[in-house]
Amino acid sequence: MQQHIDPSDFFNRTWSEFKADFGNISGNYWLGNEQLHTLTQENKHKLRFELQSTSGLWYWAEYDTFTVGNESTKYTLTVAGFNGNVTEDAMNTHNGMKFSTKDRDNDVDSSSNCAQSYNGGFWYNGCMNCGVNNAGEYFFWEYMGSDSDWFLRASRMWLVCR
């Protein structure tokens, strides 16, 4: 459903772009929020992150519950049931959040638009512990391993059938 293989601002997109899919599955890619909503409504999938730190180490995190609401809910995220080899769950603060983009600020940070500040759309809280769609130095997964392993070289989000 997502692949980010460089720290560019590729995910600095509009609401309508995130609603649909964009990119190339052999490069940076987003499946599209409408498709995510359709695929996750019956909760038949787990969510799996595969994360490569800038040090080259690979980590993973998996969630037993993953659903995305429809557009009228602003694609509200439900994510729970964490397991993985990362130090802690970086998605727990994103649970229940609405999707934000550079042109639709739905995060709970009243002082800024997180998607605009970090150059990538996502389910921001205020702002995030998981920056897999962010650009540059903000491309990270907090609590991956040591502090030096927070920053990413690549990330992938997969839907895994139950």
Q: State residue 162's pLDDT score.
A: 85
Radius of gyration of the chain from its Cα atoms, rounded to whole angstroms? 14
Q: What is the pLDDT of residues 54-72, one digit of tens each?
A: 889 999 999 999 999 999 9
pTM exceeding the 0.85 threshold for the entire prediction = yes
2-161: CATH topology: Gamma Fibrinogen; Chain A, domain 1 (3.90.215)
For 28, residues 6+ apart whose C-beta sits below 8 A from its C-beta are 3, 4, 5, 6, 8, 10, 11
What percent of the chain lies above the pLDDT cut of 70? 98
Q: Is 42 exposed, middle or buried (0-12, 13-18, 19+ CB in 10 A)?
A: exposed
Q: Where are the domains of the chain?
A: 2-161
Q: What is the pLDDT of residues 80-138, one digit of tens each?
A: 999 999 988 999 999 999 999 999 999 998 889 999 999 999 999 988 889 999 998 88
Mean pLDDT of the 26-33 span: 96
Cα gap 149→158, rounded to integer Å: 21
Would you say the C-alpha torsion 66, 59, 137, 2 has a positive or negative sign?
A: negative
Q: CA of 38: how far to CAs of 75, 89, 94, 125, in Å?
A: 11, 25, 20, 23
